[in-house]
Amino acid sequence: MRPSHPPSSLTIGSVVIDPPVVLAPMAGFTSMPFRLVCSRAGAGLVCTEMASARALCYNSTRTLELMATCPAERPVSIQLFGDSPDVIARAVPVAVQAGADLIDINMGCTVPKVVRSGSGSALLKDHSRACEIVAAAVEASGVPVTVKLRAGLRRRDGSYLELASRLVHLGVAALVLHGRTVTQGFAGQVDLQTIKHLVEAVPIPVVGNGDILKPGDAVRMVEESGCAGVMIGRGALIDPLLLGRCAAALRGDTVPERLGASSRLAIGLCLAQMLALEIGKQRAAHKIRRHLGWCTKGLPDSAALRRELFEADTLSRMAHVMTKWAATHQGLSDEAYA
Ligand SMILES: Cc1cc2nc3c(=O)[nH]c(=O)nc-3n(C[C@H](O)[C@H](O)[C@H](O)COP(=O)(O)O)c2cc1C
């Protein structure tokens, strides 16, 4: 399972990312509590969800909240999206002040509201503006700037490679590629060849992203694309310990067993408590339900379990539901949840 040329640690500018396994930015999920869990679980770098550079220019409290970081999670990357060099130039120093070790510019988001505003994946259509935005970010930032992008607008559209080369000349320190096109959204499978082509086209580190759900997927991505590191999104929502298991597989170490379902639920409960402390019970409730939706994925009787968890109106009731579920399903091996 070990890659024949395992990546050593990944260095972006002056930031050492060891292991080269990164928690992906995910709107509504990658809060500071979840990032802390993932960093403890073995991520070498964690990312905030995308924050609107324009909202930061208006001092939006909610947007500032998204960017709050703490020393225990470092290194941390703060992701910004924006439609003009001016707003990015004003937002970047705020993100650096908030504790960013890296600034990432979003060029992959396909959410209609973001695309309509001319940000996210809309920038893959307008290379001149994409370059102006990145040049402004590099100029305004004292820390390395990275860009997260998709493999073009549609299949066989190699224009992302041309854009990437221009970004390198502007001083971007690393690129993250989700190996799907914009029109694909999340459909189909990640195309590892798109990552390989980018690795071959640029002299800076490339972090590969897409569909890593088990340690073997991380090894395969590195093996087939030659990327310097991997980024994991949905797999970490299902089980944050996947990050550490992928790190072990990339090192060629014995991969720890997958956590049992009741341990995963216990992590979900800890996260719920951390979120409640961080943003208050009322606001945490919605986020907690969304997290529990992911960490109960694939469990036996998961629909009933989720329904009971969603109905529980206190953390102790949630804990009770989880304990009851674990007692009922005690005999099942971990494989049953794979
Ligand atoms: C719920 C959710 C929210 C996301 N939010 C962001 C975001 O804020 N910024 C971003 O660049 N990508 C975002 N993404 C995309 C992920 O970072 C990642 O590129 C994608 O999920 C593919 O990786 P995966 O297969 O490991 O999940 C989001 C994905 C999901 C599922």
Q: What is the pLDDT of residue 312?
A: 87
Q: Name the residue at shortest CA distance from atom 10 of ligand 1.
A: 25
Mean per-residue pLDDT for 101-122?
96
Task: State pTM to two decimals.
Answer: 0.94
Distance 327 CA to ligand 1 centre (A): 34
Q: Which residues line ligand 1 (CB under 6 A)?
A: 24-29, 49-50, 79, 106, 108-109, 148, 178, 209-212, 232-235
Mean per-residue pLDDT for 2-7?
64
> Which residues are catalytic, by number?
109
**How is domain 10-251 classified at the architecture level of CATH?**
Alpha-Beta Barrel (3.20)
Distance CA 188, CA 75 (A): 32
Distance 102 CA to ligand 1 centre (A): 18
Least confident piece of the model among 144-148, 220-224, 273-277, 330-334:
330-334
Averaged confidence pLDDT in the chain: 92
Distance CA 19, CA 292 (A): 27
Q: At 284, is the pLDDT very low, low, confident or very high (cuts 50, 70, 90)?
A: confident
Q: Both tokens of residue 79?
A: 């992701």
Distance 133 CA to ligand 1 centre (A): 21
Distance 174 CA to ligand 1 centre (A): 18
Q: What is the pLDDT of residue 323?
A: 83
Q: What is the pLDDT of residue 336?
A: 45
Q: Where are the alpha helices (DSSP H) in the chain?
A: 32-41, 53-57, 61-66, 85-97, 112-116, 127-140, 159-169, 192-201, 215-225, 234-238, 242-251, 261-279, 281-295, 302-311, 315-328
Q: Name the residue at shortest CA distance from atom 29 of ligand 1.
A: 26
Where in the chain is CATH 3.20.20.70? 10-251
Mean per-residue pLDDT for 82-95?
97
Mutate to test the pocket of ligand 1, among 21, 22, 23, 26 (most ligand atoms within 8 A of CB): 26
